[in-house]
């Protein structure tokens, strides 16, 4: 089937439908954790350990491996399908063996560190939890490889919905441990998380086996190890490692900086990220996953106009969705946190601490999603160097700003969120600048898309703030909890949505007239 903007949206919708289910259950998982354990320091320690143990997830499972695998696989398949599927078979074997070695060495090192007597109690807790979480890395990375091949085969629902299995098992773990204190529960919960990683991988296996069974002639035509294709693959993979690896190191440093700033800091950031990552996952990841294979195929066929058309389409859709979401977070983020998490051990201090971090993250929401759309344009051209350089510069800026905001200004955990947002703008600025030199129409389209949505989004936000002033005499009253908070969120959300619906309806009418 020929690639079109319609087929990209159709693929993104399939990915989105699966991701939506996963994210709903992911939010339920976080609600359960907030209710059962709040933002206690042991919870913060677990979240730091989770980031450290999954430091290589974006290298060997998602991100770097995916951005290098899809162009390589599509290129080989165009030349010879037998080589392409043989390459996948070889990569799966090498990745499995490599991960087993990395996990074993990491656990030995962590065990040695844990047995060292000079560690503080908090550091010892983080090291122990990281040790327990390490085996999950194998399954989450193999899931990423399976998802990459499924996307090449235009199967988007299964990769999108697979994380739901992770979340369902994690929820079961939280509910089974809720009678324990956070300190007692976290080691047991680490075991549940490893099992959840295994389940996420297992969901992709049946669909993958059906695809490979239909391709068994290509898969087993030649049982050689395709080392030549693997060597070609290594170069773009290493370049992707530079960018994604720098970002992952930065994420781990963020958690450490937040722990240094406040004992509960990593927990505040975690719950804020859950809300901030929702639109990124529902739209940015879905669109990025759907757009990379068509971009690659357009370039391989020499259709430069189609390549630019797909990318401009992706930019326009991104701005049209993310800009209103950003404004909504600015005016209703605190109320949303209260409604989602404000119960049990998650008190007012936790709500306000998380709301500050969410506000800091929201400034970087648009550039974070734009990076997901712009980076595939470089990957499709086999150019991992520019995204890698942009990521490294952003990481350096982020770490520098973390130090300045935390040590210099004493802003606490919100410093990490602000630094992340500023560095995201640096990242997307570099990508946009390079693309402008190669494709002048792209940057022009980007600004046109923002201008079209800016006025209506600001109008919607102003309507919510005006309503709050009339009802409470202030723009940002203390967020309501329970049923009253739900009613307030529904009212303000409805008011915010009204101008957006009117704009959408007017565009539909104008389109029908032009078609008529």
Q: 258-272 pLDDT, tens per residue?
A: 777 777 778 888 888
Q: How sure is the predictor about 129, in pLDDT bands with cuts at 50, 70 and 90?
A: very high
Q: What are phi and psi of 320, to 5 degrees?
A: -65, -25
Say if CB 420 and CB 362 are below 8 A apart.
Answer: no
What mean pLDDT do residues 117-128 have? 82
What mean pLDDT do residues 157-180 have? 89
What mean pLDDT do residues 331-342 have? 88
What is the torsion angle, in degrees rounded to the nearest 10, for the CA atoms of residue 153, residue 157, residue 161 and residue 163?
30
Percent of the chain with pLDDT over 70: 79
Q: Is 180 left (phi over 0), alpha (psi -120 to 50) or beta?
A: beta
Q: Tens digit of pLDDT for each residue in 462-508?
A: 999 998 898 888 888 888 877 888 898 899 999 998 888 887 777 77
Q: Tens digit of pLDDT for each residue in 19-43?
A: 677 777 888 888 888 888 887 888 8
Q: What are phi and psi of 135, to 5 degrees?
A: -60, -25
Q: Which carries the bigger pLDDT value, residue 471 or residue 512?
A: 471
Lowest mean pLDDT among 202-211, 371-380, 463-472: 371-380
Q: How would DSSP label each residue in 78-132? A: HH-HHHHHHHHHHHHHHHHHHHHHHHHHHHHHHHHHHT-TT--HHHHHHHHHHHH
Among 57, 142, 134, 158, which residue's Cα sits nearest to residue 92? 142
Among 284, 229, 308, which residue's Cα sits nearest to residue 68? 229
Contact residues for 187 (Cβ-Cβ < 8 A; gap 6+)? 128, 129, 132
Mean pLDDT across the chain = 80
Burial (CB count <10 Å: 0-12, 13-18, 19+), residue 9: middle
Calculate the alpha carbon distances from 160 to 146, 149, 292, 448 in Å. 12, 13, 16, 31
Q: What is the pLDDT of residue 122?
A: 81
Say if CB 79 and CB 71 are below 8 A apart.
Answer: no
Say if CB 284 and CB 339 are below 8 A apart.
Answer: no
Q: How many CA atoms within 13 Å lie on the side-chain side of 426? A: 18
CA–CA separation, 70 vs 138, rounded Å?
A: 20
What mean pLDDT do residues 208-231 have? 68
What mean pLDDT do residues 352-378 have? 85
Sorted by where each begins, the domain ranges of the chain are: 5-506
CA–CA separation, 193 vs 27, rounded Å?
A: 16
Q: What is the pLDDT of residue 473?
A: 84
Say if CB 86 and CB 164 are below 8 A apart.
Answer: no
- How many CB atoms lie under 10 A from the CB of residue 234? 12
Place of tokens 């309507």: 463
Q: What is the pLDDT of residue 282?
A: 67
Burial (CB count <10 Å: 0-12, 13-18, 19+), residue 374: buried
Distance from chain centroid for Cα 67: 14
Q: What is the pLDDT of residue 219?
A: 59
Q: What is the pLDDT of residue 285?
A: 65
Say if CB 290 and CB 11 are below 8 A apart.
Answer: yes
CA–CA separation, 222 vs 216, rounded Å?
A: 11
Among 142, 281, 287, 125, which residue's Cα sits nearest to residue 200? 142
Polymer length of the chain: 516
Q: Tens digit of pLDDT for each residue in 69-117?
A: 877 787 778 888 878 888 888 888 888 999 999 999 999 999 888 887 6
Whether the per-residue pLDDT at 223 is higher than 80: the answer is: no
CA–CA separation, 361 vs 326, rounded Å?
A: 10
Whether the per-residue pLDDT at 340 is higher than 80: the answer is: yes
Among 155, 163, 162, which residue's Cα sits nearest to residue 10? 155
Q: How would DSSP label each residue in 2-67? A: ---HHHHHHHHHHHHHHHHHHHHHHHHHHHHHHHHHTT-HHHHHHHHHHHHHTTTHHHHTSTHHHH
Say if CB 271 and CB 356 are below 8 A apart.
Answer: no
CA–CA separation, 378 vs 10, rounded Å?
A: 23
CA–CA separation, 429 vs 233, rounded Å?
A: 28
Among 256, 322, 329, which residue's Cα sits nearest to residue 287? 322
CA–CA separation, 57 vs 51, rounded Å?
A: 9
CA–CA separation, 403 vs 418, rounded Å?
A: 12
- Burial string for 459-490 (b: 16+ CB within 10 Å, else e) reads bbbebbbebbeeeeeeeeeebbbeeebeebbe
């Amino acid at each position: 089937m020929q690639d079109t903007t319609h087929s990209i949206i159709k693929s993104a919708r399939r990915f989105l439908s699966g991701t939506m289910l996963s994210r709903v259950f992911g939010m339920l998982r976080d609600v359960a954790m907030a209710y059962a354990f709040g933002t206690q320091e042991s919870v913060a320690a677990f979240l730091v350990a989770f980031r450290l143990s999954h430091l290589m997830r974006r290298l060997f499972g998602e991100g770097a491996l995916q951005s290098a695998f899809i162009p390589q696989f599509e290129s080989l398949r165009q030349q010879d399908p037998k080589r392409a599927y043989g390459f996948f078979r070889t990569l799966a074997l090498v990745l499995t063996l490599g991960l087993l070695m990395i996990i074993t060495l990491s656990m030995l090192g962590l065990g040695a560190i844990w047995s060292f007597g000079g560690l503080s109690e908090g550091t010892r807790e983080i090291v122990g939890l990281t040790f327990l979480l390490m085996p999950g890395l194998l399954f989450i990375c193999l899931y990423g490889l399976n998802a990459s091949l499924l996307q090449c085969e235009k199967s988007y629902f299964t990769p999108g919905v697979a994380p739901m299995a992770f979340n369902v098992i994690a929820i079961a773990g939280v509910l089974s441990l809720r009678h324990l204190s956070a300190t007692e529960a976290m080691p047991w919960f680490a075991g549940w998380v490893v099992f959840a990683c295994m389940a996420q991988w297992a969901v992709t296996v049946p669909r993958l086996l059906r695809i490979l069974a239909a391709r068994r002639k290509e898969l087993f035509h030649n049982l050689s190890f395709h080392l030549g294709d693997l060597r070609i693959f290594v170069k773009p993979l290493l370049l992707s490692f530079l960018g994604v690896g720098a970002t992952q190191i930065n994420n781990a440093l963020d958690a450490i900086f937040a722990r240094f700033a406040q004992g509960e800091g990593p927990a505040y950031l975690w719950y804020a990220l859950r809300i901030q990552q929702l639109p990124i996952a529902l739209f940015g990841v879905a669109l990025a996953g759907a757009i990379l294979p068509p971009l690659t195929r357009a370039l391989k066929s020499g259709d430069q106009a189609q390549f630019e058309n797909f990318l401009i389409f992706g930019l326009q859709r991104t701005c049209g969705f993310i800009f209103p979401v950003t404004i909504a977070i600015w005016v209703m983020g605190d109320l949303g946190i209260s409604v989602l998490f404000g119960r049990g051990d998650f008190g007012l201090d936790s709500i306000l601490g998380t709301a500050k971090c969410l506000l800091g993250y929201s400034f970087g929401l648009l550039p974070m999603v734009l990076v997901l759309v712009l980076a595939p344009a470089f990957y499709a051209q086999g150019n991992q160097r520019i995204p890698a350089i942009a990521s490294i510069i952003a990481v350096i800026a982020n770490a520098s700003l973390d130090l300045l905001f935390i040590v210099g200004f004493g802003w606490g955990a919100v410093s990490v969120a602000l630094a992340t947002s500023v560095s995201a703008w640096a990242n997307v600025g570099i990508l946009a600048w390079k693309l402008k030199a190669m494709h002048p129409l792209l940057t022009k389209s980007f600004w046109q898309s923002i201008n079209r949505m800016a006025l209506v989004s600001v109008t919607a936000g102003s309507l919510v703030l005006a309503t709050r002033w009339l009802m409470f005499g202030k723009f940002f009253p203390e967020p309501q909890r329970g049923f009253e908070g739900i009613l307030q969120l529904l009212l303000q959300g409805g008011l915010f949505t009204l101008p957006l619906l009117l704009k959408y309806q007017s565009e539909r009418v104008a389109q029908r007239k032009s078609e008529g």
